[in-house]
Amino acid sequence: MRVPRFLRLALVATVLAASTAAAQDYPAKSVRIIVPFTPGGGNDIVARFLAKYMTEMYKQQHIVDNRPGAGTIIGVEMLTKSPPDGYTLMVTNNSLAVNHTLYPKLPYQTLKDLQPIVKAGSTPNVLIVHPSLPVKTTRDLVALLKSKPDQISYSSAGTGSTAFLAAELFKMLAGVKMLHVPYKGTAPALTSILSGETQVTVTALPGAVAHIKGGRLRALGVTSAKRATGMPDIPTMIEGGVKDFDFETWYGVFAPHGISPGLVKQINGAVNKVLASPAARDILTNGGIDPGGGTTEAFDKLFRADVVQLGKVIKASGAKPET
């Protein structure tokens, strides 16, 4: 039986009205922000930053829930199985796009089961070494690695992490070989280089800033095409002789697929409002993060483009999931 046009229009209007009402009442209780990484890295920093300011804005608690494991799959799956009501969000980075290619089978569909909301920020990665390594510049390190292929080890937050991708891209562009030592997160990867267990790492700048400023780690170059706003004294790796090296880590807010358009718009607007505050922007910038913002459509486009582009890097590197 065909539904009359006026009834179809009334149904659409009812759905839109319900969506708008839900958005107006949101949030009526605490909001959980899943971070599929261990505490201490860039994702955790961004999530806790947003949680603090969103709590102040809404007078409702926004609570960070670290759920690391299985290359972020545990935390992402938890999000996709949560009700799409805006009370469970996630902050993650490019690794979400990477895993689409890295893992032959996932417990969710990357491009269907998640709703991108907004880009929260971005940061270059930084090439750092233990101070005991006799190098002061990227050129020095390249020369050393070429003289000792596969004799120097580098740490990462795990195969498929943005740190891993940046290091593999460095190896390809510089024509060097290093041994990969994966860890279960950014913090343990940094701990390994601080202790001298590994000698090199490429990691997101925020988690390394304090160690660099304290002289516990030596920064050789940032992976972006331009120097980092918060650490302008560190040259780019392009300046260090690695041609065409341009790689940034983005941090984004996601929700489960099926969340209402009204809530997507409200959460996007709230994050943009937080990121527009000069005081808030200073906090991120001083921590090595360039504040993000913008439309949901722009972030969705960035995310989908990374699924394709980073998939090519994974295939070229021959990387396989950790067992």
Q: What would the mean pLDDT of 127-135 be, rounded to a whole number?
A: 95
Residues 119 and 131: their CA atoms lie apart, in Å, by 34
Given the DSSP bridges, would you call strands 179-182 and 153-156 parallel, antiparallel or unpaired?
parallel
Angle of CA points 226, 227, 231, to nearest 5°: 160
The residue ranking higher by pLDDT, 40 or 68, is 68
What percentage of the chain carries pLDDT values higher than 90? Answer: 67
Residues 48 and 54: their CA atoms lie apart, in Å, by 10
Q: For residues 89 and 101, is the Cβ–Cβ distance under 8 A?
A: no
Mean pLDDT across the chain, nearest whole number? 90
Residues 274 and 198: their CA atoms lie apart, in Å, by 38
The per-residue pLDDT for 268 is 98
Residues 241 and 187: their CA atoms lie apart, in Å, by 29
Helix extents (H) in the chain = 5-25, 42-58, 73-80, 95-102, 138-147, 162-174, 186-194, 205-213, 261-276, 278-286, 296-317
CA neighbours closer than 13 Å in the CB half-sphere of residue 96? 33
Reply yes or no on whether the pLDDT at 72 is more than 50: yes
Q: For residues 228 and 209, is the Cβ–Cβ distance under 8 A?
A: no
For 2-27, write each residue's pLDDT tens digit: 555 655 555 555 544 444 545 678 99
For 172-202, write each residue's pLDDT tens digit: 899 999 999 998 888 899 999 999 999 999 9
The per-residue pLDDT for 323 is 61
The per-residue pLDDT for 247 is 87
The per-residue pLDDT for 19 is 47
Q: For residues 127 and 210, is the Cβ–Cβ distance under 8 A?
A: no
Domains of the chain: 5-122+249-317 (3.40.190.150), 124-222 (3.40.190.10)
* DSSP-based three-state secondary structure for 185: coil
Q: Which two tokens stand for residue 108?
A: 């969710």
The position carrying tokens 């280089």 is 193
For the chain, state the CA radius of gyration.
21
Helix extents (H) in 120-178 = 138-147, 162-174
The per-residue pLDDT for 142 is 98
Is the Cα torsion angle 256, 260, 263, 268 positive or negative in sign?
positive
With a CB cutoff of 8 Å and minimum separation 6, the contacts of 97 are 110, 303, 306, 307, 310, 311
Q: What would the mean pLDDT of 292-310 be, rounded to a whole number?
A: 95
Reply yes or no on whether the pLDDT at 235 is more than 70: yes
* DSSP-based three-state secondary structure for 191: helix
Q: Which amino acid is at 211?
A: H
For 74-126, write each residue's pLDDT tens digit: 999 999 999 999 999 999 999 999 999 999 999 999 999 999 999 999 988 89
